Amino acid sequence: MKIYHLIGADGGGTKTRVAVCPLGSDELLFDRSYGPSNYQTAGESAVTEVFRQIAEDLRRLFGTDLDRAVLAAGLAGVDRPKDAVVYRRILQNAGFSGPLAVYNDMDTALAGAHAGGDGLYLNCGTGSIAVGRVGGRTVRAGGWGALFGDEGSGYRLGLEAVTAVFRAYDRVGPATCLTELVLDTLGLSEVPELLELACGAEALPVGSLASLAPLVTQNSDRDGVCRAIVDAQAELLAQLVSGVVRQLDAGGLPLALGGSLLIKSEPYRVAFLYALSRRIPSITVRAPLNDPIKGALTLARRLAEELEV
């Protein structure tokens, strides 16, 4: 089958970015963002509509050549085989009839971060996950969600902050500036009102707790409780990276960092890098070489090459 174009998609809970380039070029012929595409939060029908609009826009530009385009979609929530099955059904129902492959969004982030080469990638924002690739084998550590994982994430920092406030209130833990800061941030007047975060909610208040993370990181140099939370969660992040390295049984891999918490918070990044250096002294940390959409196009190119063999 002759392939003409590569399509890369990078989708999550807030937006879906799609880009197209010719098979033999890096020139972007199309680059546009659409609505959210995490079927676990938006629903299968809503995500199908998002991709149907994408397919219609692409067909207007590329006509029947769209059927000879390879699509690589890195999408949030592809954690189990059945998730990939759902997304493949969504894409096919939306009008993508050419060859396609569905990946976890961290796979495309990893491919972009190292331009398709071997390496490690740690994402830490609201949640957390570490991934790595060596010689075609990709592994992960973390990413198990707020109930079972997300170690070192913004959610976990916020959860530990509220826990510290309750402990200070009960006089079983030390006093902390977080008491006043957390109450002010959430518009509450008394510590017991913090129970409103959980009581009556249908799911864990992940976003609300993650929004408290800056209170912890920004005060870690003057408040012992904040310092302890930062150090403990940074150590858990370092453990995720170590877990990937052990699974791959390969040393000397470069690590790229992503996610708002590590990128925007210097105190937290410094704490993490210190914890990481104690676990893996020789590791090299660098900025991602490319963004996730370039990673998706890299995976699409790899698939196209396999199809044309």
What does the mean pLDDT of the chain come to?
Answer: 90
Say if residue 272 is in the same domain as residue 213.
yes
Say if residue 41 is in the same domain as residue 149.
no
- Is the pLDDT higher at 1 or at 28? 28
pLDDT of residue 305: 84
pLDDT digits (tens, 9 = 90+) for 54-86: 999 999 988 887 888 899 999 887 878 888 899
pLDDT of residue 38: 85
Say if residue 202 is in the same domain as residue 77.
no
Say if residue 160 is in the same domain as residue 248.
yes
The CATH number for 250's domain is: 3.30.420.40
pLDDT of residue 31: 94
pTM, whole model, 2 decimals?
0.88
pLDDT of residue 309: 46
Say if residue 304 is in the same domain as residue 280.
no
Q: pLDDT category, 290, cuts 50, 70, 90?
A: very high
Give the chain's domain count.
2
Say if residue 100 is in the same domain as residue 159.
no
Say if residue 78 is in the same domain as residue 150.
no
Say if residue 185 is in the same domain as residue 86.
no
Say if residue 205 is in the same domain as residue 165.
yes
pLDDT of residue 202: 54
Q: Tell me the three-class secondary structure of the chain, residue by residue.
A: CCCCEEEEEEECCCCEEEEEEECCCCCCCEEEEECCCCHHHHCHHHHHHHHHHHHHHHHHHHHHHHHHEEEEEEECCCCCHHHHHHHHHHHHHHCCCCCEEEEEHHHHHHHHHCCCCCEEEEEECCCEEEEEEECCEEEEEECCHHHHCCCCCHHHHHHHHHHHHHHHHCCCCCCCCHHHHHHHHHCCCCHHHHHHHCCCCCCCCHHHHHCCHHHHHCCCCCCHHHHHHHHHHHHHHHHHHHHHHHHHCCCCCCEEEECHHHHHCHHHHHHHHHHHHHHCCCCCEECCCCCHHHHHHHHHHHHHHHHHC
For 11, the domain range is: 5-115+290-308
In this predicted structure, which of 144-158, 220-234, 284-298 has the lowest mean pLDDT?
Answer: 144-158
Is 130 part of a structural domain of the chain?
no
Can you tell me the mean pLDDT for 169-184?
96
Say if residue 111 is in the same domain as residue 167.
no
pLDDT of residue 13: 78
Is 133 part of a structural domain of the chain?
no
Say if residue 149 is in the same domain as residue 282.
yes
Is 22 part of a structural domain of the chain?
yes
Is 57 part of a structural domain of the chain?
yes
pLDDT digits (tens, 9 = 90+) for 100-153: 999 998 999 999 999 999 999 999 988 899 999 998 899 999 988 778 888 999
Q: Is the pLDDT confidence value at 1 over 70?
A: no
Percent of the chain with pLDDT over 90: 64
Is 70 part of a structural domain of the chain?
yes
Q: pLDDT category, 204, cuts 50, 70, 90?
A: low
